[in-house]
């Protein structure tokens, strides 16, 4: 069972295990209907191969941009792979939804909500209640309970957020990443070019974000143009990757040439 948000974000980052993180973030369904979860060791083996290719390319990696990081677990694993070969880059990890708030409902009752007030979790007298329903709720009668809890708690949570009293700001990212001195976490929309990111990064990674499940083709082109603009210059690298299950990886590592075009360094699986 997932921890209450107030407990999770109050714990020492050293006490938060990957299993605890997985349970907590896996219980959060965002307003865009995606889940704030990432499986551990998803890129086991790939990261080692990636570091080898980067080393062989001759690219010096001082700044990394990781896009669409969800809970940030794979960002931690990427940093670990770099550090294993003596490289410690600065990393900027971005996701569309990063900021959230714990707001009071009643005594011993709280809610975790997005910036707009969308509920992600209720804590009612120490018990965690998910706002979203799943198929089994139809079978065990919990659908009525969740409907009633949302009906009563969601408006109150929104009002509490608007009042701004007694609320606590948190980041929907692994505390292990947030506490890393070489990491910066920020909210960002890949479809909107961010001037603060332009021409800054030696390595840009986009995993499970550039696909037709989320965007149409013009949007994908815009997103790719934005990511390319964030590359520091010739020799910098871009990895676009998608997964279809544990170990089933498909993507391409590109390098920016002097001409301004992207050349293929390596395809993984079916490529991108």
pLDDT of residue 272: 84
State the Cα–Cα distance between residues 156 and 124, nearest whole angstrom.
13
> Reading across the β-sheet that carries 109-114, which strands appear in turn?
127-129, 119-124, 109-114, 99-106, 168-171
pLDDT of residue 17: 87
Let me know: does 111 contact 127? Beta carbons within 8 Å: no
Largest Cα separation within the chain, whole Å, is 63
Taking the CA atoms of the chain, what radius of gyration do you get in angstroms? 20
pLDDT of residue 40: 77
> End-to-end distance of the chain based on CA atoms, in angstroms?
37
Listed in sequence order, the DSSP H helices in 124-234 are: 136-140, 142-163, 175-178, 217-229
> Reading across the β-sheet that carries 63-67, which strands appear in turn?
183-187, 90-95, 63-67, 203-207, 237-243, 249-256, 262-268
pLDDT of residue 235: 93
pLDDT of residue 118: 95
* SS3 of residue 11 by DSSP: coil
pLDDT of residue 246: 62
pLDDT of residue 132: 92
* SS3 of residue 120 by DSSP: strand
Tally of helices (H runs) and strands (E runs) in the chain: 8, 12
Of the candidates 53, 46, 37, the residue with the CA atom closest to the CA atom of residue 78: 46
pLDDT of residue 78: 94
pLDDT of residue 247: 65
pLDDT of residue 136: 82
State the Cα–Cα distance between residues 108 and 158, nearest whole angstrom.
17
pLDDT, one tens digit per residue, over 93-149 is 999 999 999 999 999 999 999 999 999 999 999 999 999 988 887 777 788 889 999
State the Cα–Cα distance between residues 120 and 33, nearest whole angstrom.
11
Let me know: does 201 contact 64? Beta carbons within 8 Å: yes
pLDDT, one tens digit per residue, over 81-92 is 999 999 999 999
pLDDT of residue 245: 64
pLDDT of residue 106: 94
* SS3 of residue 221 by DSSP: helix
Enumerate residue ranges in the chain where pLDDT < 70.
Answer: 245-247
Place of tokens 């170990």: 247
pLDDT of residue 44: 76
């Amino acid at each position: 069972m997932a921890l209450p948000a107030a407990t999770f974000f109050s714990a020492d980052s050293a006490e938060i295990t990957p299993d605890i993180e997985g349970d907590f973030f896996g219980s959060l369904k965002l307003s865009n209907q995606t889940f704030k979860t990432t499986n551990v060791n998803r890129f086991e083996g790939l990261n080692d191969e990636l570091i080898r290719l980067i080393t062989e390319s001759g690219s010096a990696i001082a700044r990394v941009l990781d896009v669409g990081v969800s809970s940030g677990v794979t960002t931690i694993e990427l940093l670990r792979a770099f550090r294993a070969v003596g490289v410690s880059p600065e990393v900027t990890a971005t996701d569309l939804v990063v900021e959230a708030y714990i707001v009071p409902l009643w005594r011993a009752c709280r809610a975790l909500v997005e910036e707009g007030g969308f509920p992600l979790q209720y804590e009612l007298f120490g018990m965690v209640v998910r706002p979203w329903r799943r198929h089994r709720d139809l079978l065990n009668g919990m659908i009525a309970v969740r409907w009633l809890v949302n009906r009563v708690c969601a408006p109150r949570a929104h009002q509490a957020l608007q009042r701004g009293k007694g609320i606590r700001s948190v980041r929907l990212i692994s505390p292990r990443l947030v506490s890393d001195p070489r990491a910066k976490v920020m909210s960002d929309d890949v479809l909107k070019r961010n001037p603060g990111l332009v021409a800054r990064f030696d390595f840009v990674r986009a995993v499970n974000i550039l696909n037709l499940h989320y965007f149409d083709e013009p949007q994908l082109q815009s997103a790719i143009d934005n990511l390319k603009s964030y590359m520091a210059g010739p020799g910098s690298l871009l990895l676009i990757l998608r997964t279809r299950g544990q170990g089933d990886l498909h993507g391409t590592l590109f390098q920016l040439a002097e001409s301004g075009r992207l050349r293929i360094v390596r395809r993984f699986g079916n490529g991108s």
